[in-house]
Amino acid sequence: MTDIIASPAVKEAVKVVMEQQEHHGEDAAAEARASQPIRASVLRADQLAHEAEDHARDRQHVKGKLTARERLDLLLDTGSFEEIGRFRGGDINGGRAGSAVITGFGEVFGRKVAVYAQDFSVKGGTLGVAEGRKICHLMDKALDLKVPIVALIDSGGARIQEGVAALTEYGHLFRKTCDASGFVPQLSLILGPCAGGAVYCPALTDLIIMTRENSNMFVTGPDVVKAATGEVISMDDLGGGYVHNATSGVAHYLGEDEADAIDYARTVLAYLPSNADQQPPVYAYAATRADRDVAKRLATIVPDNDRQPYDVLDVIRCIVDYGEFVQVHELFAASAVVGFACIDGHPVGIVANQPNVNAGILDVDSSEKVARFVRLCDAFNLPVVTLVDTPGYKPGAEQEHAGIIRRGAKVIYAYANAQVPLVTIILRKAFGGAYIVMGSKAIGADLNYAWPSSQIAVLGAAGAVNIIHRKDLQKAKDAGKDVEALRAKYIADYERTTVNANLSLEMGEIDAMIDPEQTRETIIESLRLLASKKRVRRTTKHHGNQPL
């Protein structure tokens, strides 16, 4: 910290003044100040800063919350925080230490990040002109330096006393956030209230992290909801951390407490580059004999019965370094799994169907979950490894009316436009449109592989037989024959001739059939091959019109 009030000279001067005041009163303290080569205004600023933090602790700790500066201490490497504009928006002579937001730069695992932390102990953390300008200034510097932006949010929203001027600052923040989108990683930690128009700042960022307690987001609060609709609902049920992680999908991680939420933010930043112009960091990894034992486990995870569920997380942990997988959107749309991992020391994004939940089917929520994550990886140069085991899209009027066409198309758009290395492994089932959209070669994947037991077709064998042989089955029934035996024969024939991966291999849509225990090594070799893949601008268009 390079602020003058943190310098040894100031600390010593303050110590002397405080001792004089304690033992001899104000007159002696004034004499001590006069004898020290430190300006009185600096001492006053230091005193205000300490009083402000004491006040913040008194206000926050009783609610089970940390102060803004305590949160920054947890987020950043020790001693790395460089605050900017500490007293901007304050009034030193008037006894006001600063505004309701702390801004500055620090390091996370030795890499520079920009941070701002709203201070609820100052005017409820509300945003006015001073706060808005401080944050915008920080974001401008972050874009110049090409470093990630982390927001620690704990605010009552726009400062009512400043009226439209406060709202205008939100407009500026929205614009800055959009400018930064896809250029530098942006993380939002919701560690208190976030209401009204303020919710759209985090909504525009890459990841939103909330806590189980004290964390709330909503456009209109419970009182407004009650007045407008008569519905009585609590803050947590309306917009608490669990609701936005498990139901709405607004948030991407639910921390047990503030320390857990902040640790997750640090972990995610370790997988991402500082900006879109850089490659992700590379970590040392030394293969061991244990890797072979882990690889052999893959052959035992997926059941022979294609209707029997299993946990795809077991497959992922056998493929990635040290079995470490950082899930994103863990509680939302659980029929799909997405998250960060390293393979041979290189960060990647993992996308997988989850047979343990609704057979790994694609629905409106899992489609948006997958699409958003693929876009995030593509923006920040992370290769995407896709593990496929899905029977297709979820059928029914509910899904159609919820927009499965529009929202399912987002997966297509994300994969078709991605220009990072794309490697796909078909573990078991890949049926219909879901086969195409889940990183197929036809949609743009670079290298595609299949396990020997994989099934690739328009429909599963049973569904296809019921359509193709409908008349034959009806005739057999009318003739009093064993319909189920005949159906089983047709299913076996269809699986032998059509559902297996042979046709895809012959067409070149699958590059190779691999044994499960070869999976990790195959992915490593594929990513090495694709390491020099370059982005290509194919047209002069401004941008595509993504289904939203």
Residues 267, 364, single domain; the answer is no
* Core vs surface per residue 110-129: b (16+ CB within 10 A) or e: ebbbbbbbbbbbbbbbbbbe
Within a domain: 4: no
C-beta separation of 99 from 132 below 8 A: no
- What is the widest separation between alpha-carbon atoms in the chain? 114
Question: Which residue intervals of 62-186 are DSSP H helices?
Answer: 68-75, 129-145, 164-180
Active centre residues (catalytic) = 196-197, 433-434
Residues 95, 234, single domain; the answer is yes
Within a domain: 536: no
Residues 490, 505, single domain; the answer is no
Output the pTM of the full model: 0.89
Within a domain: 318: yes
Within a domain: 12: no
Residue 479's domain spans which residues? 461-498
E strand or H helix at 330, and its extent?
A: none
pLDDT digits (tens, 9 = 90+) for 427-438: 999 988 889 999
Q: Which residue has the higher pLDDT, 402 or 39?
A: 402
Within a domain: 13: no
Range with the lowest mean pLDDT among 15-29, 195-209, 355-369?
15-29
* Core vs surface per residue 192-207: b (16+ CB within 10 A) or e: bbbbbbbbebbebbbb
Question: Which residue intervals of 200-334 are DSSP H helices?
Answer: 200-203, 222-229, 235-239, 241-246, 258-271, 289-301, 312-319
Q: Which two tokens stand for residue 18?
A: 């405080």
In Å, how far are 229, 235, 274, 500 from 223, measured between CA atoms?
Answer: 10, 9, 41, 58
Residues 449, 472, single domain; the answer is no
Residues 339, 423, single domain; the answer is yes
Rounded CA separation 540/138 (Å): 33
pLDDT at 471: 82
Rounded CA separation 151/522 (Å): 39
Residues 481, 383, single domain; the answer is no
CATH of the domain at 254: 3.90.226.10
Residues 300, 448, single domain; the answer is yes
Residues 420, 484, single domain; the answer is no
Within a domain: 181: yes
pLDDT at 6: 63
Residues 50, 193, single domain; the answer is yes
Q: Highest mean pLDDT: which of 158-167, 279-288, 336-345?
A: 336-345
Within a domain: 14: no
Q: Can you tell me which residue has the tokens 């320390």? A: 259
pLDDT digits (tens, 9 = 90+) for 511-527: 999 999 999 999 999 99
Question: How many domains does the chain contain in total?
Answer: 3
Residues 494, 504, single domain; the answer is no
pLDDT digits (tens, 9 = 90+) for 368-411: 999 999 999 999 999 999 999 999 999 999 999 999 999 999 99
C-beta separation of 243 from 235 below 8 A: no
Bridge pairing between strands 216-218 and 193-195: parallel
Within a domain: 15: no
What end-to-end distance do the CA atoms of the chain give, in Å?
A: 44
Residues 490, 404, single domain; the answer is no
418: left (phi over 0), alpha (psi -120 to 50) or beta: beta
Residues 140, 85, single domain; the answer is yes
